[in-house]
C-alpha cells in the first residue's frame, strides 16, 4: 500500500480570550502508514509540558488520524506551531497559529445586518400575505 502524506490543522478548543486558559488542537489526518511524530513550538521554542496526544485512529479507507493537545494561555502576539513528521513527507509539515481575538466590531456587523434584513423581509412577507388572505376572504 502506498504512503499517504498527512494534512494538519491547528485550532483552539474554545473562543480565544487573552489571559484565559485554553487548549490548542492539532488535527493530523489522512496519513498512512501509522508512524507519526507531532511536536509543538511557542514563539519558536519547543514545548513539551502538558502536551497530550491520542493514539492513531484508523479510518475506513485505512488512513489514520491523530490529535495533539497543547494547553496554553493566550497572550497577544504569541505564535504557536504544530510540526508533523511522517515518512511520506519530504520535510516536516508545520502549521502556525497566532493569537488573535475577536473584538465583536466590524467582523460581526455584516452577518448580523444581513440576518436582521432577512428576518424583517420575511416578517413583512408574512404580514402582507395575512393581510391579503383576510381581505380576499372578506370580499366573498
Write down the pLDDT at residue 105.
Answer: 46
Cell digits for 85? Answer: 513528521
Edge-to-edge strand ranges of the sheet holding 45-47: 45-47, 37-42, 79-85, 93-98
Write down the pLDDT at residue 45.
Answer: 96
Write down the pLDDT at residue 73.
Answer: 95
**pTM exceeds 0.85, yes or no:** no
Task: Please list the ranges in the chain whose pLDDT falls under 50.
Answer: 104-106
pLDDT digits (tens, 9 = 90+) for 57-78: 998 888 999 999 999 999 999 9
Amino acid at each position: 500500500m502506498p504512503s499517504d502524506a498527512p494534512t494538519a490543522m491547528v485550532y483552539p478548543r474554545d473562543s480565544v480570550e487573552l489571559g484565559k486558559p485554553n487548549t490548542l488542537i492539532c488535527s493530523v489526518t489522512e496519513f498512512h502508514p501509522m508512524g507519526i511524530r507531532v511536536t509543538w513550538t511557542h514563539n519558536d521554542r519547543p514545548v513539551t509540558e502538558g502536551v497530550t496526544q491520542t493514539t492513531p485512529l484508523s479510518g475506513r479507507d485505512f488512513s489514520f488520524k491523530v490529535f495533539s493537545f497543547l494547553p496554553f494561555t493566550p497572550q497577544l502576539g504569541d505564535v504557536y506551531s504544530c510540526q508533523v513528521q511522517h515518512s511520506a513527507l519530504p520535510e516536516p509539515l508545520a502549521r502556525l497559529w497566532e493569537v488573535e481575538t475577536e473584538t465583536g466590531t466590524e467582523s460581526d456587523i455584516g452577518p448580523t445586518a444581513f440576518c436582521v434584513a432577512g428576518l424583517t423581509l420575511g416578517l413583512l412577507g408574512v404580514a402582507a400575505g395575512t393581510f391579503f388572505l383576510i381581505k380576499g376572504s372578506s370580499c366573498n
